[in-house]
Structure 1
């Protein structure tokens, strides 16, 4: 089996996780915009990484566009979020609203902690974050929403790496090629 990493990132957290996974598994990294059906057909499984903003995956349209090509592949979808307080109910809602139903049976989902560095945000994202903080009743919650953090750490990938290691013998990195990087 051979695999590849497909990702889309806005502020770099998802890219950083993709780079860590590539180093650990010796798999090529492909930006989602470079993917086409011919590339998908060359691989048996994919690690697909997407950040999420206001409940919407950056790769929502990508998953819908390539659902027919991906539905026969094993998928490990890692979703990177700056929301540090998400729970199983919000995870299920995100999956239901962003992932085509035909992909769900062949997909393992992983929610990873991201980062929020205020000075790196676009003016629009800064505005939305400030508005969200203003609507919070708790002063601690307001403060935490506007405080920088970076939780992108290799240890957050332990469960994902463990699950990938359960693929048939030789799956991670075997047959993969760095030609798409």
Structure 2
């Protein structure tokens, strides 16, 4: 058994893609968040959690926060997956919204770019994306991110890159 586990929660599959890449690189066990409980996580020294960014939240962050609060002397890593460019995005507000100060001190954070296929979105998500598009169009503060959003709206886009996991892999290997 590995001493590393990767747990993930995904909506459209990009987080699963990263979770598999990380799990393969670290020869770790891999679980969907719905398939784990505290007793499973206690067996590992390094716990890596991946959650999709969704409406300024990290999917599964409440559940994983409860697990993380109950474990001690573990190496905790969280990666997020969203459409924004991690090189130009400040994630601190999202982190603050999803993890308390104590957990933030214990967790190492990494951020990756995801994918979306607008045709596969359900009606509620389509409405949300349309509302976001309308809000951005009305805004006078266009950024490269918002311009890219408007340019790619309604299309299938995939920003996932396997090489982007390298910093997380190097970080995790310090604990193995």
Taking structure 2 as the reference length, what is the TM-score of the superposition? 0.85
> Aligned partners of 1:110, 1:49: CA distance in 2, in Å?
9
8 Å contact kept, 1:71–1:106? no
SS in 1 for 2:50: strand
Q: Unmatched 5+ residue regions in structure 1?
A: 172-181
Displacement after TM superposition at 1:88 (Å): 4.9
Number of the residue aligned with 1:127: 127
Displacement after TM superposition at 1:84 (Å): 3.5
8 Å contact kept, 2:65–2:99? yes
1:110-157 deviation per Cα after TM superposition (whole angstroms, max 9, x unaligned): 010001111121211111111111222369452333332101121111
Give the total of aligned pairs: 167
SS in 2 for 1:136: helix
Number of the residue aligned with 1:17: 18
Q: Unmatched 5+ residue regions in structure 2?
A: none
8 Å contact kept, 1:40–1:69? no
Displacement after TM superposition at 1:165 (Å): 2.2
> Aligned partners of 1:51, 1:70: CA distance in 2, in Å?
23
Greater relative contact order, per chain length (Cα 8 Å cut-off, separation 6+): 1
1:53 aligns with 2:54: yes
